[in-house]
Copies of this chain bind each other. A is one copy, B any other.
């Protein structure tokens, strides 16, 4: 009834929940479930069944009345919606603490995010090997990003240099950036920027404890 072609503004929360559904569907698949109801899916995510159905309904009708959703089929649908049914060539910039942890982060690879390039400005790191990838000199950023056909960048550099690197990365034609530096970056309107701020969630916990905020959802 509401085909994917119909442009409707989808909320950020809906997309985030699709990620959750995807993860749970992968699990259900491993547990050899054939089908799953919105009720069961909701239970696992601590959401309401109506929420699950509404989220999915923005993109089409994937279920069977009386039966539920076919696990494998729904998983594939969500992969398509999220755009993770393909390979994304990703460059990771900054091979420090966070950066080197991310190189080996399995969830990225599982979902089609292939880190194929590493960059740093530290001479001691340049040339070194992380999980089979040689760290490149950030001096060659623009050229190498274009040659390697990179479309996404993960930024794990100090806040002080993040903006300069973003400017270069944008010049190189990258249009999606995941930023781990605790700073507000400026990008042109056509570039997608997301910030990952790990302190934020600890701060939320702190607030919740101090205020006896009854925990409800976990994002």
Contact = CB atoms under 8 A, between A and B. Distances in A.
A152 B202 contact: yes
Interface size range on A against B: 35 or more
A198 B196 contact: yes
A177 B202 CA distance: 9
A207 interface: yes
A208 B176 contact: yes
A154 B113 CA distance: 25
Contacts of A217: 12
B200 A16 contact: yes
Interface of A: 10, 12, 15-16, 18-19, 22-24, 44-46, 81-84, 88, 90, 97-98, 100-102, 104-105, 107-108, 110-113, 151-152, 154, 175-178, 182, 184, 189, 191-211, 213-215, 217-219
